[in-house]
Amino acid sequence: MIVSVRELAYRYPGATESVLRDLDFEIAEGEVFGFLGPNGSGKSTTQKLLTRILRGHQGRISVFGQDLETQGVAYHERIGVCFEIPNLYEKLTARENLDFYRRFYAGPCDPPEALLAELDLPEADRRPVGHYSKGMKMRVVLARSLVNRPKLWFLDEPTSGQDPEHAVRIRDLVRARADAGSTVFLTTHDMHLADTLCDRVGFLVDGRIASVGSPRELKLAHARRTVRVELRRGENLESQSFELDEPASKAAFLELLRSERVETIHTQEPSLEDVFLEVTGRRLLG
């Protein structure tokens, strides 16, 4: 495992209650692991502990097979971090930002022009990034987080501020990096992104993990065998739902198929957000 967290707890100095309580999870090499929870659930605190912005936790964090507390500055050679809020040198160009940042690393780095092209940013643009839109700034931050070819990549709302085309481009980039062996720790409120991109997700509420699994596993575990039928009666379209595990409802469904003019039949599968609400009793943006 690239990341192993056991009985992780954290309380901010001066606080009376812990923001994290007995967290346990693992992330495998090449996995995209989504960390999902409402505001204040502890997502950012967990990410800050894993990136060593915060110290003083209880429990054990192991990364790359070593206790995180024993790892020195070389740890940052192997990780990349993309924050939700762009934090760039706004008087520098995109290329100058990347050139400056890569000087912090002793190991090999990717050329700025390749990273900018990968994120649809003009390499020859001489404008300071302060003149960029939020979406363009976020893509520069993404490019910067990849400069050192990270083995563990932390992403916080990576598609924030992006139009649909660039959101898909970023999703494909993350998937390609994971398929090439990078491990991704993703925090997001975007359930569609988590559903389509993540290999597994963890639901975090009030500092505790409520459930962990692949999006498909979680949806199947909480699915009900329900179908919705649209049928035409005269000039009108009507809709009815049937629970196929209930004998009376199933019989009514079969009778309707025999006797009515059916226009469409749809299975009623829960979304990942539906599962989150059922498991935690909370909405993601709550």
Q: What CATH number is given to the structural domain containing 173?
A: 3.40.50.300
Query: Do the beta carbons of residue 151 and residue 182 sit within 8 Å?
Result: yes
Give Rg (Cα) of the chain: 23
37 and 134 assigned to the same domain: yes
**Residue 280 domain-assigned (yes or no):** no
Is this structure's pTM higher than 0.75? yes
251 and 172 assigned to the same domain: no
What lies within 8 Å, CB to CB, of 241 at 6+ separation is 226, 227, 228, 229, 268
Along the chain (286 residues), what's the average pLDDT of each consecutive run of 10 residues? 94 89 94 89 90 91 93 92 88 94 92 93 88 92 95 93 92 95 92 92 89 89 80 81 84 84 79 82 60
What lies within 8 Å, CB to CB, of 188 at 6+ separation is 34, 36, 155, 156, 157, 158, 159, 194
Strand partners, 232: 237, 261
Q: Give the model's pLDDT for residue 284.
A: 59
195 and 257 assigned to the same domain: no
Q: Give the model's pLDDT for residue 186.
A: 95
Please give the order of strands across the beta sheet that includes 3-10. 20-27, 3-10, 58-63, 66-67
Q: Give the model's pLDDT for residue 282.
A: 66
**Residue 285 domain-assigned (yes or no):** no
55 and 136 assigned to the same domain: yes
205 and 245 assigned to the same domain: no
**Residue 218 domain-assigned (yes or no):** no
Q: Which domain holds residue 202?
A: 3-213
72 and 143 assigned to the same domain: yes
Token pair of 31, please?
């996995």
Q: Give the model's pLDDT for residue 286.
A: 46
CA distance 208 to 205: 5
